[in-house]
């Protein structure tokens, strides 16, 4: 099913029992976030929420609309997300026609492809411009924009479809960049340095030209998704939306800027950016589960706000996983796999675990045919588009199910050889990566779990004799030897997790050295040291912490055939040159407020 606008998608959600209407009065300041966070962490992602009575605004708020596998499939008009990559493969693998008959057979497919590009429609009163606010009538305060987390710098637009063009106007870019609200008519534009929007911005800056922007808030689901997709430079995101919809996205001219926006959008912001003007933006509770650091970013000056007569404000929250963005990211993982295979045809499948928050961990299965092929794949991925930001890559053989984390973990713990299977590299990292000593670059880790073949280091070598102690140290024994330890946990009979009350530099590394030297703990092969407040009984939280805080070269400590990994917070005295961010946590006041009204929220 395809949806002309967000309205039809909301109707479908309701028919399918995937939407909860909340009539209780709620605040857009922290309260909607707390409610949504609880719902999104329910099994399967919970339900989509439509808050109909939001303090300070007449507009309802739709959130968690894409926050489940079922709703993501519904949004993209498929029963199974794999249907989309199968369609993409059909076009990628079109053989060149050799005969006139081959050309005739190809014609229907080419005609279908020709329907995908967005189409400019000329209509006097498109839905997105039923109401027009100009000059002194412009007021972002009329929109129920959320403050998501307590330490956020203010209210943030978190699901904006940001539209701009290159300085020569030849290339359109559609991206998803958060926008901090400064006042009635100005916001920040937070685009990371590797994004196309930032690239265009620097073009305008070099030429000292004003940059026009338009922002759609709430469009048809395919357009909403496509704005988040990591398309190659120069490929129009509305083209991808049309491909997914099997129908062109209708666009209309803006009122005050020379740009086009989805005709059926709920709300549109129009404005410009002066490249000479930057302003402090952030902090913001980000999808890593930590607050991203503040910094100077471009400022958007609004020249118009247009919207439907009764607009719905579509938004999202990000924070400690899982959240709605996980399901958007999983769709990207599946949809773009065929395109990845065109670059690296030996790739069979891939998985981005939720705990890896997209850029911290990727598991890849490959059809291995020659020595060191795993390392070639890792190196190639680290040089390929947004995959270049991935910090940890695990490779397995073709027959291994990359989505079976338990099987991957067992394989890792039973076969990994520290000498031959770990591959350290260096390169660029996502701006949100806080673990590396310097911002934007650091070390990377490859873990090769493929079977060794002739000519490859480790071939013919028996699997390493991993320890499986018959007795495991008790928490009391470890704490007696090391009073700074808050708790321990055993994983797979060979790994010890340690929650360490770290109070001084290098304490994690010193603990690892002392632990390995202690005669009572000689059977423990791998020790992972985490911060003292981490709940070691929650393996998902442990792995989220592990991937977020890991700087591989710095934090791996080998001693003979044993390994200690220190993923505690790092101090400047340890060579750390960034500002270690705070974890996102809601205030007790808001939690209590939501507790009181919780039962009333979901009454019909």
Active site residues: 286
In whole angstroms, give the CA distance from residue 388 to residue 379.
9
- Backbone phi, then psi, for 200, in 5-degree steps? -65, -40
Nearest of 368, 469, 461, 376 to residue 417 by alpha carbon: 461
Residue 537 is classified by DSSP as T
> CB neighbours (10 Å) of residue 104?
10
| Contact by Cβ (8 Å): 250, 262 | yes
- Measured between alpha carbons, how far apart are the two ends of the chain, in Å? 28
Nearest of 211, 208, 206 to residue 173 by alpha carbon: 211
In whole angstroms, give the CA distance from residue 46 to residue 32.
15
In whole angstroms, give the CA distance from residue 274 to residue 221.
31
| Contact by Cβ (8 Å): 266, 312 | yes
Scan for tokens 């080419």, then name that residue.
110
**Cα 16 to chain centroid, rounded:** 27
What is the β-pairing status of strands 267-281 and 211-217? antiparallel
Identify the three-state secondary structure at position 377.
Answer: helix
- Backbone phi, then psi, for 251, in 5-degree steps? -120, 155
Q: Which two tokens stand for residue 423?
A: 């591959």
Identify the three-state secondary structure at position 325.
Answer: helix
* No. of helices (H) and no. of strands (E), the chain: 17, 28
Q: What is the DSSP string of 63-102?
A: ESTT-SHHHHHHHTT-SSTTHHHHHHHHHHTPPPP-SHHH
In whole angstroms, give the CA distance from residue 509 to residue 556.
9
In whole angstroms, give the CA distance from residue 460 to residue 175.
50
Nearest of 396, 225, 398 to residue 314 by alpha carbon: 225
- Residue 191 exposure: Cα atoms within 13 Å on the Cβ side: 26
| Contact by Cβ (8 Å): 472, 493 | yes
3-state helix/strand/coil string of 472-505: CCCHHHHHHHCCCEEEEEEECCCEEEEEECCCCC
In whole angstroms, give the CA distance from residue 25 to residue 597.
10
Distance set, CA 254 to CA 117, 163, 226, 341, 471 (Å): 19, 11, 20, 39, 70
């Amino acid at each position: 099913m395809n949806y002309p606008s967000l309205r039809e998608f909301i109707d479908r959600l309701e028919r399918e029992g995937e939407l909860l209407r909340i009539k209780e009065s709620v605040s857009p300041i922290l309260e909607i976030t707390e409610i949504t966070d609880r719902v999104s962490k329910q099994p399967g992602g919970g339900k989509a929420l439509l808050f109909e009575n939001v303090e300070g605004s007449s507009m309802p708020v739709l959130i968690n609309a894409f926050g489940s596998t079922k709703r993501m499939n519904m949004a993209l008009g498929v029963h199974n997300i794999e249907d989309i990559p199968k369609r993409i493969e059909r076009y990628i693998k079109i053989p060149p026609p050799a005969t006139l008959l081959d050309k005739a057979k190809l014609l229907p497919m080419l005609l279908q492809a020709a329907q995908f590009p967005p189409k400019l429609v000329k209509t006097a009163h498109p839905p997105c411009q039923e109401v027009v606010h100009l000059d002194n009538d412009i007021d972002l305060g009329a929109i129920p924009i959320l403050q998501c987390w307590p330490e956020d710098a203010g209210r943030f637009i978190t699901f904006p479809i940001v539209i701009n063009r290159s300085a020569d106007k030849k290339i359109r870019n559609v991206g998803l960049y958060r926008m901090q609200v400064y006042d009635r008519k100005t916001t920040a534009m937070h685009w990371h340095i590797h994004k196309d929007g930032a690239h265009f911005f620097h073009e305008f800056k070099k030429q000292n030209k004003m940059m026009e922007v338009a922002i759609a808030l709430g469009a048809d689901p395919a357009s909403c998704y496509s704005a988040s997709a990591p398309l190659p430079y120069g490929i129009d995101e509305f083209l991808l939306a049309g491909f997914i919809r099997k129908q062109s996205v209708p666009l209309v001219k803006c009122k005050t800027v020379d740009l086009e926006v989805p005709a059926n959008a709920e709300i549109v912001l129009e404005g410009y950016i002066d490249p000479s003007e930057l302003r402090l933006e952030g902090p913001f509770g980000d999808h890593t589960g930590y607050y991203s650091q503040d910094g100077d970013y471009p400022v958007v000056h609004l020249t118009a706000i247009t919207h439907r007569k009764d607009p719905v404000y579509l938004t999202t929250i990000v924070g400690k996983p899982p959240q709605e963005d996980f399901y958007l990211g999983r769709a990207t993982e599946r949809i773009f796999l065929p395109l990845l295979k065109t670059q690296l045809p030996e790739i069979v499948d891939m998985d981005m675990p939720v705990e890896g928050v997209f850029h911290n961990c990727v598991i890849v299965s490959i059809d291995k045919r020659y020595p060191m092929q795993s390392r070639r794949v890792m190196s190639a991925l680290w040089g390929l588009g947004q995959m270049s930001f991935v910090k940890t890559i695990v490779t397995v053989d073709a027959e291994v199910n990359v989505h079976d984390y338990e099987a991957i973990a067992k394989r890792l713990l039973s076969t990994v050889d520290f000498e031959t299977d770990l591959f350290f590299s260096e390169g660029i990292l996502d701006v949100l990566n806080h673990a590396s000593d310097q911002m934007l670059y650091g070390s990377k880790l490859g873990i090769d779990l493929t079977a060794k073949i002739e000519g490859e280091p480790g071939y013919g070598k028996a699997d390493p004799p991993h320890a499986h102690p018959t007795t495991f140290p008790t928490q009391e024994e470890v704490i007696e030897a090391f009073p700074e330890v808050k708790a321990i946990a055993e994983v797979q009979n060979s790994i010890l997790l340690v929650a360490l009350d770290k109070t001084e530099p290098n304490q994690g590394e010193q603990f690892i050295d002392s632990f390995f030297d202690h005669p009572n703990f000689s059977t423990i092969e791998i020790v992972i040291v985490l911060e003292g407040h981490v709940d070691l009984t929650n393996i998902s939280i442990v792995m989220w912490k592990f991937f977020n805080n890991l700087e591989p070269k710095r934090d791996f400590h080998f001693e003979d055939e044993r390994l200690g990994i220190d993923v505690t917070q790092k101090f400047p005295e340890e060579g750390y040159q960034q500002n270690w961010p705070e974890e996102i946590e809601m205030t007790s006041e808001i939690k209590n407020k939501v507790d009181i009204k919780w039962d009333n929220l979901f009454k019909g």
